[in-house]
Structure 1
């Protein structure tokens, strides 16, 4: 069995791209049924304030201290990467939102073996559908779409156990030196940082499988 631990933030475009590229590697891996994926919470900016009224581009210009032209080029570059990976993504229409509440639901989903489905739904909601991933009603709707009961989703958004789980994931990331996401760890031995090509993920999977079989 191979365990792949993935630290990710659902408001990170490269995390979405990395997820899809990793999935592309899994599809080509003959022993994919023997791969267990564990999602971990990581907030790129824990202090970001949700601001639906401003454009993501204007926020990025101010936060990163770049020109609007530079920001536009970066956004377009990420969109092109997404398109090449088979994803529809528009950073310019995405809502500036804190992702902490989304991570609470991801922690709940992990207990139900639905984390991968919820990650996908949250990415799509944020980058394709321009939904506010800090809005509780929106989040509950997303949770319901992957099979989580409304009552459980509501409880999770206020449950200290899931707050602790998010913090534990972030502390674990700090301990192993994660500075950015996506960050993939294979069998607690090999690390891959960033949205690497599917072929790179496949090479690591094959190497780890050879060592464990």
Structure 2
């Protein structure tokens, strides 16, 4: 059963939602039958790479939302507590606000190598905990290499238009499916979960969707692999 997850690596609730989803999946007995695909969703495509107040998240949000600096600090402290409850360490004092397009380009390249989830996790941590600048090519090269990409592949991701087109296609697809924001989970194209729902709620939806999926796939069998011989006397262990 396929689960598609739209997120932005600079969305605080997306990282929390990822952890909640992982907690639900860990309690799901049929998790080996689950295929997860991460998809791109940019919350602010028009944001410059170096926005005003880039080095001060509190001031950036205060100006953007038209609230006071103290209100912004209080709001971020509340989000940090939510993150802590999910096992995450948000360092808003370190965060560098930027456009997320380049990070999504890296994710799209990583997906072609089977490294999509690894890229999401590394980029989330780099942004929310380490305070890395995710619009800096050198930083992105370092992060890409750390998950298993080569420097050449990172450069390809950052320069080849096909990867930006894939980012944009993901965003357009999310809109067609009714996503108003992220995180946005689509399960078997029948159920959707919007926002960072608790793991217990995600688990309930997983169980319901999986029961229906299994009913629709009656020929599915579970195989425990052992020593085998294939046609042509090709025996392996």
**TM-score under structure 1 length normalisation:** 0.97
Query: Could you give the per-residue CA deviations for residues 122-158 of structure 1, whole angstroms, max 9, x where no partner exists?
Result: 0000010000011111111111111111111111101
Task: Show the 5 A alignment for 1:146-161.
Answer: 146-161=147-162
Deviation at residue 91 of structure 1 after TM alignment: 2.0
Larger Rg: 2
2:89 aligned with 1:88:
yes
Aligned to 2:172, what secondary structure does the other structure show?
A: helix
Deviation at residue 53 of structure 1 after TM alignment: 5.2
2:63 aligned with 1:62:
yes
Aligned to 1:93, what secondary structure does the other structure show?
A: coil
The structure 1 segments of at least 4 consecutive aligned residues displaced by more than 4 Å after TM superposition are none
Aligned to 2:18, what secondary structure does the other structure show?
A: helix
Query: Could you give the per-residue CA deviations for residues 7-28 of structure 1, whole angstroms, max 9, x where no partner exists?
Result: 1000001000000000000100
Tell me, in whole angstroms, the C-alpha distance in 2 between the residues paired with 1:47 and 1:92: 24
Tell whether the 8 Å contact from 1:4 to 1:37 is kept in structure 2 after alignment: yes
Query: Could you give the per-residue CA deviations for residues 62-118 of structure 1, whole angstroms, max 9, x where no partner exists?
Result: 111111111111100110000001011122321011100000011111111101001
Aligned to 1:30: 29
| Richer in helix (by share) | 1
Task: Show the 5 A alignment for 1:94-133.
Answer: 94-133=95-134
Tell me, in whole angstroms, the C-alpha distance in 1 between the residues paired with 2:84 and 2:194: 21
Query: Could you give the per-residue CA deviations for residues 145-173 of structure 1, whole angstroms, max 9, x where no partner exists?
Result: 11111111111101111111011001101
Aligned to 2:6, what secondary structure does the other structure show?
A: strand
Tell whether the 8 Å contact from 1:18 to 1:196 is kept in structure 2 after alignment: yes
2:30 aligned with 1:47:
no
Tell me, in whole angstroms, the C-alpha distance in 2 between the residues paired with 1:191 and 1:53: 33
Give the number of aligned pairs: 212
> Comparing both chains, which one has the higher relative contact order based on Cα–Cα distances under 8 Å and sequence gaps of 6 or more?
1
**TM-score under structure 2 length normalisation:** 0.87
Task: Show the 5 A alignment for 1:11-22.
Answer: 11-22=10-21
Q: Could you list the runs of 5+ residues in structure 2 that have no partner in the other structure?
A: 215-237
Aligned to 1:92, what secondary structure does the other structure show?
A: coil
Aligned to 1:76: 77
